[in-house]
Structure 1
Amino acid sequence: MLNKLVVVKLNGGLGTSMGCYGPKSVITVRNDLTFLDLTVQQIEHLNKTYKVNVPLVLMNSFNTSDDTQQVIRKYKNLNVEIHTFNQSCHPRISKDSLMPITKNCDVEKNIEAWYPPGHGDFYQSFYNSGLLTRFVKEGRDYCFISNIDNLGATVDVNILNLVLGQANEQHEFVMEVTDKTRADVKGGTLIQYENRLRLLEIAQVPKEHVEDFKSVKTFKFFNTNNLWVKLPAIERVLQQNALQLEIIVNGKSLNNGLNVIQLETAVGAAMKCFKGAVGVNVPRARFLPVKKTSDLLLVMSNLYSLKSGSLVMSPQRMFPTTPLVKLGDNHFSKVKEFLQRFANIPDLLELDHLTVSGDVTFGRGVSLKGTVIIIANHGDRIDIPSGAILENKIVSGNMRILDH
């Protein structure tokens, strides 16, 4: 079954939201390994263990393509066949005139005027690259698509069994969903509409219904963006011109103050175009995205160990949920600053909730348990001393550890 699989990682994003340059996939997340390193390790382990050849396909954007091509050279001696292709490049539209903000088609000379149109562009760009046709001819049947920054999105043979099992040939599209918590209120959800399952994103919800959409009771699941899609079915849908994706209107302000509109689509929205599309409720462990430094704190900590490129929750953690962590934007939002504030990553095994705000640093061997809130007011600084154990504590004010 694995020889019928292709693994696709969406690799179009930059690390700018975390203060990094270049593709997000080259940010170091654990043991000096990047998102891309971990992904390649996972596939190599899979290929060695089962004596198969599962190829890795990276969908880049014009922002990440050149850097990614340089990086993947280092994997050439590994047991992983890596392919890349670029998603499309669309012109940004002026909010006032509703016209493209440039007539110059040279992207490199006018990069601010262009954008990659969301991961819904995957299907057409994959087809245009020639890779889809090639894989179908090779007898490959399914692709597993996920975001490169979701460290939980590994190849699960149980799900592959579901999608490729003889009795389930009709499932052309399988979306992994997981139980929604209050931290996931903005995640896309599944709805039944016109006798079909569809993906509903928050951007498509009228303002007066946004609170209903966010309700954990009304919508119990959300989309992890881990998708299993039948390759010949993608070919059929595109050839029949049947791929109808809802357009998401995304407003942005450029550095020069110009208000622009980006028209984007989501890869999961294609669900309604395929036969027998289903959602599969998966454990939370399959959704481990690193969007902020608060996520980075969790994946770098002793909550997880690394096994063949996959993060595994420590058996010493008494409950399966991860702690809720909120780190202040001013001092922790950029990776470089974040790393400078920790002599090493604290012990989080018994942590439920952590809030840190202001100028706070952590010494070596700190242990955080239960609910810990540390707030340094403006102009104050708090240094948590090495070896400190904070359990259900609120720390505020000014606390400096002076060297004698």
Structure 2
Amino acid sequence: MSADGLAQAQNKMRDAGVAPAAIDVFTHYYGELEAGATGLVLEDTIEPLLDPDKLADVEISDDAAAAAIQKTAVIKLNGGLGTSMGMDKAKSLLPVRDGKSFLDIIAAQVLHAREAYGARLPLVLMNSFRTQDDSLEALAAHRGIEVEGLPLDFLQNREPKIRVDDLTPVDWPADPSLEWCPPGHGDIYTALLSSGVLDALLDAGFLYASVSNSDNLGAVPNAQIAGWFAQSGAPYAAELCPRTPADRKGGHLAIRKADGQLILRDTAQTAPEEMDYFTDEFRHPFFHTNNLWFDLVAIKKALTERGAVLGLPLIRNEKTVDPTDGTSPKVYQLESAMGAAIEVFEGATAIVVGRERFLPVKTTNDLLLLRSDAYELGDDAGLRLAVEKAPLIDLDSKHYKTVSAFDAHFPHGAPSLKAATSLTVKGDWSFGENVTVTGDASLADEGEPRTLGDGSTLAG
């Protein structure tokens, strides 16, 4: 191990007030990095997962479901800034439906579930330093969202970016904040422990956690899944969805041949020459939604026994210290995936759920769809398809990639998409008020800015 590089990184983390447990985890991954670990999962070491449990086949009594959700806490990963969409604040504050943000809708989902089941159902965010203040301010508008004795959030940890050339922590005086990165959402376990939130939940009588991304409004609190998880006795479970051609880049579960253990394989853990296997929706027919269920007692036991180091597979991300400057020094970001913890727990399992539980917003294509009439907001604040199949959206990234550019092109909101099969836009098109899209519709690049007038119908 590069003693000097590691010591520099450890000292930098201590000086910044990073929790000792997080430094221990970083030290583990630094050792993996220096040993040449790539985190790759080769196809000949795994078998496809072909027949997991399906929620549609599960029978859970109303009493069992209600009892389970009364012992469940909702945790949302809320550290993302939406930088890929041109944002510089918490992505969850983006208006997504009727002027309501992701956080507004999540709060409404939780409050509705509490009333429906008579459950305390705490909502806890895993924030980053850059999302904490704005997100807590937004939640304060939802009266009664707090649960007495429990915090509304905890902070994910941070770690130094490591230079590729000499494995020392990078120095970037032009913007010192760029010297740091989050350790991936696998940090949730360390952060839960070091923040004291894990103990606080256990002391308050909670046994289970339902965890999902804050940009996935499909992950509504669900008593039936809570009942299934409690009844299974499993320490850990993942929600899966059937794969389609649109999901080929998503991570999937597999069975490790060496010991029969379920594991997660993401894109970054796949060798380039094996991407054909990874993207084959028939070979690996289910994708990982990142909606997870934890037994909090089992999590505490594993973290205590392992000194907070669960040993999740390393994800070695190579980037430049300044993502906007390709000439800046190359760095490694040492990350792990939250879902990779499935391989830590013997008896971990998975369940196939409906596609309505997976509605992430990663691009403005997704945003347009969720803002349109192709989706409806239910009484439980869950977003659900109002049509048989969601239309495919493909907006020209030259003109619609950032939220500000997107909003400028849709000043009156989303067009009607409930009669559309697809919408492809090439070039610089703005949409007037009350535009309707039907069938397989497309707009070609006219070489100059154009506008679809108010009341227009764009037919395929």
Matched, 1:124 2:190: yes
Q: 1:63 aligns with which of 124, 130, 143?
A: 130
CA apart distance, 1:203: 0.5
Q: 1:213 aligns with which of 257, 278, 291?
A: 278
Matched, 1:373 2:442: yes
Query: Which structure has the highest strand share of the two?
Result: 1
Q: CA–CA distance in 2 between the matches of 1:135 and 1:339?
A: 40
Q: CA–CA distance in 2 between the matches of 1:102 and 1:258?
A: 9
Q: Does the CA-based 8 Å contact 2:429-2:452 persist in structure 1?
A: yes
After alignment, is 201-210 or 14-23 more displaced?
A: 14-23
Secondary structure of 2:116's counterpart equals: helix
CA apart distance, 1:103: 9.9
Q: Does the CA-based 8 Å contact 2:107-2:145 persist in structure 1?
A: no
* Matches for 1:237-256 after TM superposition, within 5 Å: 237-241=302-306, 243-253=310-320, 254=322, 255-256=324-325
CA apart distance, 1:259: 1.7
Matched, 1:333 2:333: no
Q: CA–CA distance in 1 between the matches of 2:154 and 2:278?
A: 35
Partner of 1:15 in structure 2?
Answer: 82
Secondary structure of 1:368's counterpart equals: strand
Q: Deviations over 1:124-169 (max 9, x none)?
A: 110111111121122211100000000101111111110112xx22
Give the TM-score taking structure 2 as reference length: 0.79
CA apart distance, 1:79: 4.3
Q: CA–CA distance in 2 between the matches of 1:348 and 1:142?
A: 39
Partner of 2:159 in structure 1?
Answer: 90
Q: Which residue identity lines up with residue 174 of structure 1 in the other structure?
A: A
Q: 2:100 aligns with which of 33, 45, 50?
A: 33
Give the TM-score taking structure 1 as reference length: 0.90
Partner of 2:413 in structure 1?
Answer: 344
After alignment, is 198-207 or 64-73 more displaced?
A: 64-73
Q: Does the CA-based 8 Å contact 2:172-2:178 persist in structure 1?
A: no
Q: 1:45 aligns with which of 112, 132, 135?
A: 112
Q: Does the CA-based 8 Å contact 1:189-1:222 persist in structure 2?
A: yes
Partner of 1:174 in structure 2?
Answer: 237
CA apart distance, 1:345: 1.5
Divergent runs of 4+, >6 A: none
Matched, 1:183 2:246: yes
Give the alignment's Cα RMSD to 1 decimal: 1.8
**Greater relative contact order, per chain length (Cα 8 Å cut-off, separation 6+):** 2
Matched, 1:306 2:377: yes
Secondary structure of 1:299's counterpart equals: helix
Q: Which residue identity lines up with residue 90 of structure 1 in the other structure?
A: E
After alignment, is 284-293 or 302-311 more displaced?
A: 302-311
Matched, 1:141 2:207: yes
Q: CA–CA distance in 2 between the matches of 1:73 and 1:383?
A: 40
Unaligned runs of 5+ in 2: 1-67
Q: 1:204 aligns with which of 256, 259, 269?
A: 269
Q: CA–CA distance in 2 between the matches of 1:246 and 1:224?
A: 18
Q: Deviations over 1:247-303 (max 9, x none)?
A: 111122214522211011000000011132111111111000011111111111111
Q: Does the CA-based 8 Å contact 1:323-1:354 persist in structure 2?
A: yes
CA apart distance, 1:304: 1.5
Q: Does the CA-based 8 Å contact 1:54-1:80 persist in structure 2?
A: no
Q: CA–CA distance in 1 between the matches of 2:199 and 2:175?
A: 33
Partner of 1:295 in structure 2?
Answer: 366
CA apart distance, 1:109: 7.5
Percent of paired sites with the same residue: 37
Partner of 1:224 in structure 2?
Answer: 289
Q: CA–CA distance in 2 between the matches of 1:103 and 1:214?
A: 37
Q: Which residue identity lines up with residue 184 of structure 1 in the other structure?
A: D
Partner of 1:269 in structure 2?
Answer: 340
